[in-house]
Amino acid sequence: MSAHGWRRCRQVARTGSVADALRVIGPHRTGWGRHLIVPAGPDRPPAVADPLLAAEGLAVVRRAAGPHPPGAAEVAAAREVTLATAWLRLGLSERLLDDCLGYLHGRTTGGEPLIGQQLVRGELAEIRMDHLEVAAVLDDAPPSDAQLLDAHRRITGADRSLLRLLGASGFVADGPGRIAYVSELLADAYAGGDRDV
């Protein structure tokens, strides 16, 4: 996939559905873990029932066994999916930031919007800087494996910070927390394997 395709995936993740963003990446046949997260469909019976994934139009399926140890082609394909997933997750994190900004503008404390609180603004600035730095790393052609894993970790950290700013609404199943949950599962499936992301 080209750099234009990665950016398109990011934009679809930010403004559309997670399933549509996964479709932009293309068929999912590889990853670092034993399971894949794919758009749900009649030809893909889920291996694991997850109502939060189902609500996003996604399913967990078992990855077809490949050669062990994986050859160069399998490693390259898994790495490309890891890169694509980082772009997708960045778009989801930016969507979560948009949701958080709307929430903070609408909530008040002491008669003032939460968005005006110095600590809140500082946290939001750090999150936005993380987003910009991750985008810069992903634009680097190609980022190293360590940079790619760090990008996934930074996205996870930004999402967790945003959930704290969203208060309880960030943790309900039909709220913005569901997107953060799905994003972390995508990282586990396509970037983690046995590594912690």
Structural domain boundaries enclosing 110: 3-192
| pLDDT for the residue numbered 34 | 72
| pLDDT for the residue numbered 147 | 94
| pLDDT for the residue numbered 66 | 63
The CB density around residue 149, as the number of other CB atoms within 10 Å, is 19
Asked if residue 197 belongs to a domain, the reply is no
| pLDDT for the residue numbered 30 | 63
Peptide bond into 69 cis (omega under 30): yes
Mean per-residue pLDDT for 17-30? 83
Asked if residue 20 belongs to a domain, the reply is yes
CA 146 to chain centre: 18
Number of domains into which the chain is organized? 1
The CB density around residue 193, as the number of other CB atoms within 10 Å, is 14
Alpha helices, DSSP H, located in the chain: 3-15, 18-25, 51-55, 72-106, 118-139, 145-165, 177-187
Best CA proximity match to 151, nearest among 63, 100, 79: 79
What's the CATH number where 62 sits? 1.20.140.10
| pLDDT for the residue numbered 136 | 96
Q: Are 92 and 14 in contact (CB under 8 A)?
A: yes
| pLDDT for the residue numbered 142 | 86
Q: Are 39 and 120 in contact (CB under 8 A)?
A: no
In the chain, % of residues over pLDDT 90: 51
Q: Is the pLDDT of residue 80 over 60?
A: yes
pTM above 0.85, yes or no: yes
Q: Are 107 and 99 in contact (CB under 8 A)?
A: no
Looking up tokens 């990853």 gives 31
Mean per-residue pLDDT for 138-162? 93
| pLDDT for the residue numbered 122 | 97
24-52 per-position pLDDT tens digit:
988 766 666 677 888 888 776 667 778 88
